[in-house]
Amino acid sequence: MEMKTVKDIRNGFKITEEPIVYYWFFKKDCTDILLAKLKSEIDFNKINRIDHNNEDYLMLYVGKGKNGNDRLKKYHILDSNNFHDNGVENGRLSSLRTTLCGLLDLPMSTSKKAINEFIDENCIVYWKTCSLKNLDKTEETEITSNYLPLNYQHTKGILTKEHRKILSSCKKRMRK
């Protein structure tokens, strides 16, 4: 597995072009604000934690990409197609960015800079390569075998109905 801070990736680190599954870790210090709307629904004891540079990080999201650099760097981290500006109504904004906007009460169409600053300050990402043939199954297995408060897909029976409802309504509310 490889790991980098989001800021390092944004500043020029190239991710592999091979298929990857990636794991987003957020500083524990930011989760009081980020997860405030979900606080009563989250079992914090189930969240995987790591120590990075003497700071506690929580694994909150897992995703996949057929081309790691395109998906993780260009789509999630850089929003290189400017979907914050022109793809919100079409649903093209990254699901992670959409969720962050919803939970942080940031309108999707005007919050690219704010989301960039938030993830640069608070996130590290791990990733591992896998075969294209196994990509979908590997992602599903990682989501269903972990407790990921920011994932929606594959979380029925893991996250409460109310948790999933809050995620959905937050995203819809900030889709402007």
Share of the chain above pLDDT 70, in %: 93
Query: What is the pTM assigned to this prediction?
Result: 0.93
First to last CA, the chain: 36
Residue type, 123: C
User: What region does 82 belong to: left with phi over 0, alpha with psi -120 to 50, or beta?
Assistant: left
- Split into its structural domains, the chain has a count of 1
Residue 74 near residue 140 (C-beta atoms within 8 A): no
Average pLDDT of every residue of the chain? 90
Q: In terms of DSSP bridges, do strands 49-52 and 123-129 run parallel, antiparallel, or are they unpaired?
A: unpaired
**Structural domain of 14:** 2-173
pLDDT in tens, 114-135: 999 999 999 999 999 999 999 9
* CA atoms of 25 and 41, how far apart (whole Å): 19
